[in-house]
Amino acid sequence: MDATAAERPAEGFDAFAVSCPSRRLLDTIGNKWASLVIVALGLEGPMRFSALSARIAGVSQKMLTQTLRNLERDGLLTRTVTPSVPVRVDYGLTPLGLSLVETISHLKEWAEAHMAEVDRAREEYDRRNA
């Protein structure tokens, strides 16, 4: 009988294997919008949709909605509805989501610190391959 995901040991997953379910999770957290949502909520705390949208320049309403749903489905964030007029909805990280903040923050910081080098490499590559 197959073990449930909760019962399966971590070493039972191998993201290099084509059928490994951890690939779906990597797809989610490797998405630029998901990563930015996780970092924003991790550094700034729970936020409303409009605040997240303003904080993450360039994300469309549709993409932000889809990203939030995916993160909620994976147990990385919570959606809290407060009955009021108008209804207030806040998004915050779960403990599982919080466990990703440091890792993803480092990746974001690395990208910001090395973007000039990457731009130079891209320009050189494009020059060589034009």
| pLDDT computed for residue 4 by the predictor | 53
* Residues 13-36: tens digit of each pLDDT: 898 899 899 999 999 999 999 999
Q: Is 66 exposed, middle or buried (0-12, 13-18, 19+ CB in 10 A)?
A: middle
* pLDDT-derived band at 81, boundaries 50, 70, 90: very high
The whole-model pTM stands at 0.85
pLDDT above 90: residue 5: no
Confidence of residue 3 (pLDDT cuts 50, 70, 90): very low
Query: Considering the domain 10-128, what is its CATH architecture?
Result: Orthogonal Bundle (1.10)
Domain boundaries along the sequence of the chain: 10-128
Residue 42's pLDDT is 97
